[in-house]
Structure 1
Amino acid sequence: MDAREPLGLRERKKLRTRETIRREAFRLFEANGYPNTTVEQIADAAEVSPRTFFRYFPAKEHVLIDDDLIPPIIEAFRSAPPEMPPLTAYRHAVTSTFAALSPPERENALRGQSMMYSVPEAQGLLYSHYVRLIRLISEALIDRLPHVRDAFERRVLAGVIVGVLLSVSDGTPLPGDPIAAGMEILEARLNLGPL
């Protein structure tokens, strides 16, 4: 996905299998509808067994969430230049992570996000995805805002960032202009300096 560390053959094969499963699932969801597509159909189209499907995804709706993007976004957030305010750093992290994706990876990510917001069965998963993201951003804020020592305060600040993602992603789940514009509005209106 990016040039930070070359992956070994086994890891590349796992990534290809995961991408194939997602790509075939999206194709079937679009052709047959999400509720009418079974795990068995997805596995068959991806040329894997249902058991292999479940090694990569605990349930069908998990195909919609691209958890592989979270670690590089959080890492880019942590390693953004220290003089960048947190909101600018987060915007930078999302933009640079998506820019590093190959065209097939980007297409899978965007297709999954678009479906994630339109499939009612994924709503609970979406909630847990955002709660996890709040926790990870909160942990990363230890590095970005060392003067904020209170865990509750960091969690509230992380919740504000995720709130922007929630408010701009519903209906337009793309990592570009809507998220960047939302973060810019928040930056202009919110001072993240010491209390």
Structure 2
Amino acid sequence: MPGLRERKKARTKAAIQREAVRLFRDQGYSATTMEQIAEAAEVAPSTVFRYFATKQDLVFSHDYDLPFAMMFQAQSPDLTPIQAERQTISSMLKDISPQELALQRERWVLILSEPELWGASLGGISRTMRVMSAEVAKRTGRSPADASVRAYTGAVFGVMLQVSLEWADDPDMDFATALDEALRCLDDLRP
């Protein structure tokens, strides 16, 4: 368990990001300054910059690639890639509080509504797709460049994008269930 100092840092970082997303929603991404975010989070501007070097980082501050890779490889080798994928995603979503999930949705809506953020998100999506391809390749004994692995990764990301777009339009949607149901449809696709 993290110590008191680490927990305080995590709370401060989360408060800054929460206030930033609120301000972006209320007054627009471009109109919001780092100083306004610091004031809303009741911290100094230097504290905001300590945790988030740029305004974009306030939206893209989560890195799930390493936890995903570790959890995916820990799944039973008897599972198909999509079954292992579903179990990994389900476990990761269970670890997210309802408040954090609501913040994730707000960040996603923001990314979709701001062309600058949508463009910036493509780099992260590409990186995550490469991680997923590498993990599926390890699991199946194939190369990440194998056409089956690339098609599988593209199909999974297509499903995830579709469900995420629906979630952006429907805040009451049970994201975890909808994503799992959609991914289950890919079970017949086996690299």
Shorter-chain TM-score tier:
0.7 to 0.9
Equivalent residues in 2 for 1:1-195, closer than 5 Å: 6-145=1-140, 147-148=141-142, 150-153=143-146, 154-173=149-168, 175-188=175-188, 190-192=189-191
The 8 Å contact of residues 25 and 110 in structure 2, kept in 1 or not, is answered as: no
**Aligned partner of 1:140: which letter?**
E
Partner of 1:3: none
1:68 CA displacement:
3.9
Identity, in percent, stands at: 34
Partner of 1:58, secondary structure, is coil
Partner of 2:171: none
The 8 Å contact of residues 136 and 144 in structure 2, kept in 1 or not, is answered as: no
Equivalent pairs counted in the alignment come to 184
Gaps of 5+ in 1: 1-5
Specify whether residues 82 and 152 from structure 1 end up closer, same or farther in structure 2 by C-alpha distance, changes over 3 A only.
same
Specify whether residues 140 and 191 from structure 1 end up closer, same or farther in structure 2 by C-alpha distance, changes over 3 A only.
closer
Question: Matched residues in 1 for 2:156 and 2:67: separation?
Answer: 17
Moved more, 104-113 or 170-179: 170-179
1:25 CA displacement:
0.9
Question: Matched residues in 2 for 1:163 and 1:132: separation?
Answer: 15
Partner of 1:67, secondary structure, is coil
Specify whether residues 129 and 178 from structure 1 end up closer, same or farther in structure 2 by C-alpha distance, changes over 3 A only.
farther
When normalised by structure 2's length, the TM-score is 0.82
Alpha carbon RMSD of aligned pairs, Å?
A: 2.3
The 8 Å contact of residues 28 and 37 in structure 1, kept in 2 or not, is answered as: yes
Q: Deviations over 1:28-48 (max 9, x none)?
A: 122212222111111221122
Specify whether residues 10 and 159 from structure 1 end up closer, same or farther in structure 2 by C-alpha distance, changes over 3 A only.
farther
The 8 Å contact of residues 135 and 155 in structure 1, kept in 2 or not, is answered as: no
**Aligned partner of 2:113: which letter?**
S
Question: Matched residues in 1 for 2:131 and 2:6: separation?
Answer: 24
When normalised by structure 1's length, the TM-score is 0.80
